[in-house]
Amino acid sequence: MKYNLLYLMDPLCAWCHTFSPKVERLMAESPYDLELEILPWGMFPSPRIVDENFGQWLEREVRKIQEQSDVIFGDSYYELLKTGHLVLDSSIPSRAILSVQYLWPQRTLEFVCEIERAFFIRGENPNDETFYLNIVSYLGLPKQIFLDDFQSERVVETQTESFKQSKLISKDFPTLFFRNSERLVALGDKFSNFDKLRSECEKQIRLTE
């Protein structure tokens, strides 16, 4: 029997970078047949330039997150915040995620984690199309098939709907939900450790059986 999970996240969210590996571990280690849907939230629904003041604020906040979570954020990421030319726009990486989810759903979470590593560790610019093509190539997926969908009207409409639906579900993210026949049940958020995620997931499975 398949059990459905919903991951509400944003690819430009520093807390999501700390949370996605826990979701990835849950999917890999669970003895149950888990199926995951990713719903991008749209933290930056329109482009925002990271000027000096915003960049300094972001650096302070992310360093706090790094201290609380012990997850690595690379020096190259912190340097990227200081360049003055970084633009944060959630729609671009969200479209990439939704394209992969449409084309190769089993690889979506892996793709998300690679986006987060490329941005938050290696400091690569997520507005560059090459950013995604490099990840697609690294994962061994056909680049042209991805590109055709990534540039399509279909995925733009899907991304717009994702931003609408995610905000109706929750104002807080990252959050992992268990989807039963009646409702969504939150399994954990950015402060949840892996053991809590696993135990809450198993609890909901027992209630379903």
Determine the pLDDT at residue 19.
98
Residues in Cβ contact with 151 at an 8 Å cutoff, skipping those fewer than 6 apart: none
How do residues 32-74 score in pLDDT, each as one tens digit? 999 999 999 999 999 999 999 999 999 999 999 999 998 999 9
In the predicted structure, residue 8 carries a pLDDT above the cut 90: yes
Predicted confidence at residue 54, as pLDDT, reads 97
pLDDT at 25 over 90: yes
The encoded tokens of residue 149 equal: 């969908």
Average pLDDT over every residue of 18-35? 97
Beta-carbon-side half-sphere exposure of residue 162 (alpha carbons within 13 Å): 30
Mean pLDDT (the chain) is 97
Rounded to the nearest 5°, which phi and psi values hold at 136? -60, -45
The CA angle 196-198-201, to the nearest 5 degrees, is 105
d(CA 185, CA 5): 9
Residue 204's CB is within 10 A of a number of other CB atoms, namely: 18
Residue 152: partners with Cβ closer than 8 Å, 6 or more residues away:
none
Residue 180: which pLDDT band, with cuts at 50, 70 and 90?
confident
Rg of the chain taking only CA atoms, in angstroms: 17
> Is 40 in contact with 97 (CB distance < 8 Å)?
yes
pLDDT at position 97 is 98
| Tokens 């998300």 found at | 112
CA 208/CA 80 separation, integer angstroms? 46
Please check whether residue 36 is in contact with residue 150, taking contact to mean a CB–CB distance below 8 angstroms: no
C-alpha 136/C-alpha 114 separation (Å) is 9
pLDDT score, position 140: 98
